[in-house]
Chain A
Amino acid sequence: MPLILIVDDAQFTRRVICKSLQKQGYLTREASNGREAIGLLDEEMPDCILLDLLMPEFDGWDVLTFLKENGYKIPVIVITADIQETSRQHCFDLGAKAVINKPPKPDELNNTLKKVLGFTEENTR
């Protein structure tokens, strides 16, 4: 099953997302800020990154910019409390594949992951 890296400074949200993903059979790793997340890429490349925006030190915007400028092809789904349309568009401009607002609904998260990872009924048979 795919490995999903969850990047969020809020332990509460990381726990909620991890539980939801693990129930669906995904493998998960966690990072509490952008700098930690970038460091983990050298250890093991995830299949997808779930990324918060507002974090101390290296925030979500910094991560998106870093990934884009360094040619990383890992799909990123932004999961954020920020519901502004302007922020959503900025995420897409920086290469995010999807934006989900907090609190993430399990079905929405799972369906978005499947879409981003290119899963279809045929692929999973």
Chain B
Amino acid sequence: MNLTVDQLDTLQELVNIGVGRAASVLNEMIECHIRLQVPFIRVFSPGKMKDELENRLGVSLVSAVRLGFTGSFSGLAQLVFPTDSASKLVALLTNEEVGTPDLDAVKIGTLTEVGNIVINGVMGSMSNLLRQHLNYSLPMYLEDTVEHLLSSKQLEPNTTVLLAQARFTIEQLQIAGDIILIFKLGSFDALLKALDRIEEGEEE
């Protein structure tokens, strides 16, 4: 399936709005300014998407929270941090010191919840704009390389996916992270029709 330039532009703006909402939520939690970059958005095969993400995020170990979504369209959303950024964020939120065993113990739970809230901010904004309800899986925490975050279990090799990646930085704290959305294009018809309805200003 090919998306037109207009459709990609609209999707980019949609993701931008969602990421903006997510940044606002994160800002409330940590009370620091979040700097956003323009989201990157493109259609890929799963194999090429892995290569693209490795180029963008690197090959080192990362901490990630993953949420699956289904409904009119389906896919995966992930909040990804380099492991040192993840530790700093957890330390900030829990008032534990970086590097202590107590921090490790609460790290998974805290990051999972932060990821849950942030990803819901992104996807919920998009859902509300498109008026398409989404159902979510339970959030899952992972620590691995980018390559292994996207295993073949999640993405069949012959499907086409739409990748959206948005980087955010908390400069005051030297924390950086990425919001990654992977839409399975086989489920895209409903999304595209919803986009068309918005652009045409149709009422329900």
Q: A interface vs B, CB < 8 Å?
A: 10-13, 54-56, 80-87, 102-103, 105
Contacts and interface: CB of A to CB of B under 8 A. Distances in A.
Contact of A85 (B28, B119, B128): B128
A83 B120 contact: yes
Interface of B: 21, 25, 28-29, 93-94, 106, 109-110, 112-114, 116-117, 119-121, 124-125, 127-128, 133-134, 136, 138-139
Contact of A13 (B25, B106, B113, B119): B113
A8 to B, nearest CB: 9
Contacts of B116: 10, 54, 81, 102
Contact of B106 (A12, A81, A86, A102): A12
Nearest to B118: A81
Contacts of B113: 10, 12-13
Contacts, number: 54
B138 A54 contact: yes
- Residue with the greatest number of chain A CB neighbours at <10 A, chosen from B29, B93, B114, B120: B120
Contact of A11 (B106, B119, B134): B106
B109 A84 contact: no
A10 B94 CA distance: 13
A56 B136 CA distance: 12
Contacts of A86: 127, 133
A10 B136 contact: no
Nearest to B133: A86
A105 B29 CA distance: 9
B25 A84 contact: no
B66 to A, nearest CB: 14
B109 A82 contact: no
A84 B132 CA distance: 9
B23 to A, nearest CB: 13
Contact of B110 (A12, A80, A82, A84): A12
A103 B112 contact: no
Given A12-B93, A83-B120, A83-B128, A103 B29 contact: yes
A103 to B, nearest CB: 5
B120 A81 contact: yes
A23 to B, nearest CB: 16
A-B residue pairs, 10 tightest by C-beta: A83-B124, A81-B120, A10-B113, A86-B133, A81-B117, A12-B110, A12-B113, A84-B127, A102-B117, A11-B109
